[in-house]
Amino acid sequence: MAALRVVKDRLDKVGLGTFCLELHSNKTKKSEVLSGLQRTANAQAGPVRPSDLHYEDHQRIRDNLNEYAAALRQPFHGTGLTPYEMLTEWVTADKYFADVKRPAPEIAFNDISSLTASQRAEAERTLLDLKDVLESLGDVTNSPWHGCSPPPILPGDDRQIDLSIKKLRESIEKVTSISAQIKDYCGVREATRVSDIDLSISAATIVAESQPVDRFVLINDTWNAPSNSATGLINDLQRFQAQREELHYYCEARLACKEYSTCVSTCKKRRPWPLLIWVPLEGHRQ
C-alpha cells in the first residue's frame, strides 16, 4: 500500500493524478470513486506553451541530419566515390593492417578534389600490377634490388642491364684470379673482401721490392744435407717446450698459494737454459 501511495503522489506532482482512479485502498468509498470518474471525464487540457516542444530546434536538427546523409551519398567532386564509400574503404584498409600488425602507410594528397575517376582507376591498375610482380618475386627483402630506388626501367633497358651485369661478373672473376696469383707468388693471404685487396697489394709490393735471392743459393744441395747443429737445435727446442709445459702446471698451483720462492727455486734447478725462468703463468712472471 505504501509503495502504491508513493507512485500516486509522483503522478500527482507531474499532473497525471487526475487521470488515475484510486482503487487500491480498502477505505475507498463508492461516492469517492464516482466523484473521481466524474472529475476525470470533465478534465480539460491546460494551455500548451509552444516553447516547451522545441518545434524549431527539432526541424533544424532534422534538416541537418538529412543534409549530412545526402552529402555522404553524393560523389565527391570528380573522384566518382561518395564520402561513405571512401570511409568504408579506409576502415577496411585500417582493419587489414591492424590484423597483420603493420602500420598503415600514410599517403598525402595536395588537393583530392582534383583527383578524377580515371586517375583513380589507373592507380588501382598500377597497384594490381605491382601485386602480381611482388607475388612472383616472393620475399622482396632477399632481392638484390631491395633498398634501391632505380628510375623507371623500360623494355629497351633490359639489354643494357644484362651487359652491365656481365661486365661486373668479368671484373669480379679477374680480381679473384689476380688475388689467387698474388697468393701463390707472394705467399700472402688471398683477398676475400674488398678491404683485403689493399692489404694484398701492399704485401705483394713489399715482396716485389725486396732483394732477390740468388737462384743458385736456393737450389744448393747444402739445404738438403743433414746438419748436426740443426738437429741439436730442434731437440733442444722440443725438450724446452716439454719442460716449460711441465713447469707451467707445477708452478701454477704454487703461485695461486703465493709460494713464490718455491716456484723460483724449482725453475732454476730444472731450466734447460736461463730463458726458462721467464715462464708466463696466468699473468704472473717469476
Q: Which residues contact 264 (CB under 8 A, 6 or more apart)?
A: 277, 286
Per residue in 44-82, pLDDT tens?
666 655 555 566 778 888 889 999 999 888 888 888 888
- Flag whether pLDDT at 250 surpasses 60: yes
Higher pLDDT, 169 or 17: 169
Query: Do residue 134 and residue 164 come from a single domain?
Result: no
Q: What pLDDT does residue 281 have?
A: 42
Q: 73 CB contacts (<8 Å, ≥6 apart)?
A: 82, 84
Q: Is residue 130 located within the same domain as residue 170?
A: no
In a domain, 220, yes or no: no
The range of the structural domain enclosing residue 168 comes to: 160-211
Least confident of 87-91, 104-108, 217-221: 217-221
For residue 199, is it within any domain?
yes
Is residue 250 in a domain?
Answer: yes
Burial of 49 (0-12, 13-18, 19+ CB in 10 A): exposed
Side chain identity at residue 1, one-letter code: M
pLDDT digits (tens, 9 = 90+) for 135-192: 887 787 777 777 777 777 777 788 888 888 899 999 988 888 888 888 888 777 778 7
Higher pLDDT, 276 or 99: 99
Per-residue pLDDT band for 231 (boundaries 50, 70, 90) equals confident
Look over the chain and give the mean of its residue pLDDT values, rounded to a whole number. 78
Rounded CA separation 12/6 (Å): 10
Mean pLDDT of 251-276: 57
Under 8 Å between Cβ of 262 and 254: yes
262 part of a folded domain: yes
Alpha-carbon distances, residue 174 vs 138, 185, 195, 199 (angstroms): 33, 16, 17, 17
Based on the fold, state whether residues 121 and 164 are members of the same structural domain: no
Q: Kindly state whether residue 255 falls inside one of the protein's structural domains.
A: yes
Q: How many domains does the chain have?
A: 3
pLDDT category, 260, cuts 50, 70, 90? low
User: Is 204 found in the same domain as 164?
Assistant: yes
Residue 257 covered by a domain: yes
Q: Would residue 155 count as lying in a domain? A: no
The reply to whether 95 falls in a domain is yes
| CA-to-CA separations, 241 to 11, 145, 227, 245, 276, in angstroms, rounded | 114, 56, 21, 6, 10
The pTM assigned to this predicted structure is: 0.33
Q: Are 92 and 133 part of one and the same domain?
A: yes
Q: Quick check: 132 pLDDT over 80? A: yes
Q: pLDDT confidence of 241, banded at 50, 70, 90? A: confident
| pLDDT at residue 278, as a whole number | 42
Mean pLDDT of 106-135: 84
